[in-house]
Amino acid sequence: MQEHQYHELADATILAIEEAVEALVEGAGIDIEFESGGEILELEFTNRSKIIINKQPPLMQLWVATKFNGYHFEYRDGLWIDNRSGVELWALLSDAMSKQAGVAIQLKAAE
């Protein structure tokens, strides 16, 4: 993957996550504060725990830090996959957000 392709994919993914969280907050009334800037998206839950998603350009990865662990996602076959566990990004975010918010969350990109 070329560097410009990585940036386009990573930026689009972070924006899609932000839009999905915004839809969740507005549609389901789940209280999540979020802030984005540059190459980072920070989600904060009512219990003050956070999930931080950020770009790692030198490695062409997206990194996700949750209350429980850190993950390094690489783009493979059209999906962002954690290079240690093999979990897909949207599945990981749904699981981590559910645990940190204390309610079931199914996060998905807008279609």
What's the CA angle centered on 10, arms 40 and 54, to 5 degrees? 25
Domain assignment present for residue 110? The answer is no
Q: Report the amino acid identity of residue 38.
A: G
Q: Residue 111's pLDDT band (boundaries 50, 70, 90)?
A: low
Number of domains in the chain: 1
Domain assignment present for residue 8? The answer is yes
Q: How many CB atoms lie within 10 A of CB 43?
A: 23
Q: Are 50 and 43 in contact (CB under 8 A)?
A: yes
Containing domain of residue 65, as a range? 3-101
Return the pLDDT at 8: 95
CATH number of the domain at 16, please: 3.30.920.10
Question: Tell me, what DSSP letter sits at residue 88?
Answer: B
pLDDT digits (tens, 9 = 90+) for 50-100: 999 999 999 999 999 999 999 999 999 999 999 999 999 999 999 999 999
* Coil/strand/helix, residue 40: strand
